[in-house]
Structure 1
């Protein structure tokens, strides 16, 4: 039995700014992910796993330099996904770890990493399993901005945020919207 709050509490001080933002954001993402999973029950998504993975998908943010989130790590924020993978693999949670790594944007490809000179390992980090796609999709609806952590973004706002990264990213999100929305 994986208790996400226990794992989060190993890396974040309960009551701290980073802890509060992370837990609130993750709870909203988990509920949205479970709602999305209910729309594809014919695919038999693993609901327990989705809830746990959604709670843990941003575990790596404390290792990034994101002062607005109360995080004072050394890495650029874009690294939080693969850093989270390392953390959860060490905890013996390899499937949860893949969700961490693959949830950023709508997934990051080798082409993206090379074209944008991203400080990431050079391999595809795109959601593959239904559960990975569901958590990635749900995450797009909620920011970690302390003032709007509980506010759900509109589909148009999400598309606008994805636009600088290419039409293929919007198309991917739209395909998820049709499936899970």
Structure 2
């Protein structure tokens, strides 16, 4: 599986994930599924005025930072905890001159993380809000919740399964996801 060679995401992806990188296929599959769901939402809801080109690129790049994390079950053997992949991806894409795409990386974890949550939970993240703001950020964040990386990479979770997963992070996460369901589904 590959991206279109004309795609901006392809050039960035190729720079960080060689053909023999152990996480390459998992990440490509996951990113493609998230992209497809995000574009499906944008097609279904033209009133949201989502930029589909940006959605496609940013969805394909939202997890670019996973190779820097320690997640051997998906082929990543970096030094950082997995939760750091968002802000690490932001740093990568900022260096690539893609500041808006970079924000998607940082803001896509779960339904987003506030600076207060990061401090209170003592997460190994910069103490700043990492919450999706733009409609494209929200769509990609929402689409991402339906797909895991690993054993069942290609299976789309149901909204109830996503809510069950989010429940352990707080009722506010479930409420935000439920609100998105009414807007995006």
TM-score class, shorter-chain normalisation, is over 0.9
Q: How does 1:93-132 map onto structure 2 within 5 Å?
A: 93-132=98-137
Q: Offset at 1:110?
A: 1.2
Count of aligned pairs between the two proteins: 180
Structure 2 match to 1:65: 70
Does residue 143 (structure 1) correspond to residue 159 (structure 2)? The answer is no
Gaps of at least 5 residues in structure 2 are 1-5
Q: With the length of structure 2 as denominator, give the TM-score of the two structures.
A: 0.94
- Distance, in Å, in 2 between the alignment partners of 1:30 and 1:70 is 21
| TM superposition outliers: structure 1 runs of 4+ over 4 Å | none
Q: CA RMSD in A?
A: 1.1
Does residue 154 (structure 1) correspond to residue 158 (structure 2)? The answer is yes
Does residue 176 (structure 1) correspond to residue 180 (structure 2)? The answer is yes
Q: With the length of structure 1 as denominator, give the TM-score of the two structures.
A: 0.96
- Distance, in Å, in 1 between the alignment partners of 2:7 and 2:137 is 17
Q: Offset at 1:70?
A: 0.6
- Distance, in Å, in 1 between the alignment partners of 2:40 and 2:20 is 28
- Distance, in Å, in 2 between the alignment partners of 1:14 and 1:141 is 26
Q: SS of the residue aligned with 1:17?
A: coil
- Distance, in Å, in 2 between the alignment partners of 1:84 and 1:180 is 25
- Distance, in Å, in 1 between the alignment partners of 2:107 and 2:116 is 15
Q: SS of the residue aligned with 1:165?
A: coil
Structure 1 match to 2:54: 49
